[in-house]
Amino acid sequence: MERRKFIKNSSLSAAGLVSASTLAACKTDTKPEVAPASTIPVQTAVKPIVVCTWNFFNATEKAWEVLKSGGNALDAVEQGVRVEEADETNETVGKGGRPDRDGNVTLDACIMDKDGNCGSVVCMQNIVHPVSVARKVMEETPHIILAGKGAEKFAYEQGFKKEDLFTESTRKQYEEWLKTSKYETTINIENHDTIGMLAIDDNGDIAGACTTSGMAYKVAGRVGDSPIIGAGLFIDNEVGGATATGVGEEVIRTVGSFLIVELMRQGKSPQEACEEGVKRIMKKNEGRKDFQIGFLAINKNGETGGYCVHPGFTYREYSENGHENREVTSFYE
């Protein structure tokens, strides 16, 4: 067939396809089919409730205050993780986060609400509260992710102040590190501080946030899983939410948090879903033991669960039932 005729024919048939599908949609007048989350009762059994990765007492306390006074889950998670961003002793989040190998402190964060709205900033410098910039991206722009200098410029436009994110301690550590400049992509197994937080408010609505400075001494420009929707965080208000901590590259390769929420949609408990998530990662890394990953999940009922590669990952939970730091089971003993 001549090329011109072919193009004409194919555009005609494409037009045919469109009108056929439009017709079909008109006829049935139904919403697109999605697998129902029917195994999860709509009523939230435990609410309000907040959970976060690791033992961040003050952050969950702050989120709980918001929830307890009738605030929504989105405000709760933003206010909660901001506590860690401002805490200079937490050296993998916000101010006091460790720098990349070139000496830049670059932050990643994201936030997601009950309607699937989300915002994210990646590789942003000089701003203490990337989670709040991420929320502004979500609410004030038609975009989802802003990166680097663009994110920083946007933050200033939104009224955020420029601040040096180094502390005396992180500057000293960096100078020490420069002596050998040993670059390892693995994260020390015991010590992670990235905060991922999930909350359900009085209305039964779910939101989540995640914020980090990422891996210490990473290659300049590196972005991990934490600000990537679906990897470091995912919320589906019909089902639940999930968040991750640990070596982000492995979480991204498995689209970890989205995977866990989908597994819950299919009927798994948060615990079972987190276990399956870690097992998928370990299947791709058979025999590898030099990295840690921790998943945390909550379902619409307020049931929670977590699982990790190596022992040591905990999550903090706060609801009317109590306030506790829970140790989770792990793939390796």
Cis check: omega of the bond before 36, within 30 degrees of 0: no
**Residue 293: CB minimum distance to ligand SD4, A:** 8
In 10 A of CB 3, how many CB atoms? 7
Query: Which among 44, 53, 60, 194 is annotated as catalytic?
Result: 194
Q: How far apart are CA 212 and CA 245, in angstroms?
A: 9
Residues 6+ apart with CB under 8 A from 324: 316, 317
Interface with ligand SD4 (CB under 6 A), residue total 15
The interface region with ligand SD4, picked from 191-199, 271-279, 281-289, 298-306 by CB under 6 A, is 191-199
Pairing relation of β-strands 293-299 and 240-246?
antiparallel
Among 84, 193, 236, 275, binds ligand SD4 (CB under 6 A): 193
Q: Which of 193, 174, 16 is nearest to 99 (CA)?
A: 174
Helix/strand/coil for 217? coil
Alpha carbon distance 234, 123 (integer Å): 20
Catalytic: 22? no
Q: Smallest gap, in angstroms, from Cβ of residue 88 to ligand SD4?
A: 17
Residue nearer to ligand SD4 on the CB measure, 193 or 275: 193
Q: Work out which of 44, 211, 237, 245 binds ligand SD4, going by CB under 6 A.
A: 245
* Least distance in angstroms from the C-beta of 250 to ligand SD4: 9
Residue 225 interacts with ligand SD4 (CB under 6 A)? yes
Per rule CB under 6 A, is residue 246 in the interface with ligand SD4? yes
Q: Hey, is 14 helix, strand or coil?
A: helix
3-state percent breakdown (helix, strand, coil) of the chain, nearest 5 = 35, 20, 45
Which stretch, 120-128, 144-152, 246-254, 308-316, contacts ligand SD4 (CB under 6 A)?
246-254
Cβ proximity to ligand SD4, 75 vs 249, nearer residue: 249
Instruction: Check residue 192 for interaction with ligand SD4 (CB under 6 A).
Output: yes
Report the alpha-carbon angle 316-321-325, nearest 5: 20
Contact between 211 and ligand SD4 by CB under 6 A: the answer reads: no
Least distance CB 262 / ligand SD4 (angstroms): 20
The reply on whether position 59 binds ligand SD4 by CB under 6 A is no
Distance CA 293, CA 256 (A): 10
Report, as residue numbers or ranges, the catalytic residues: 194
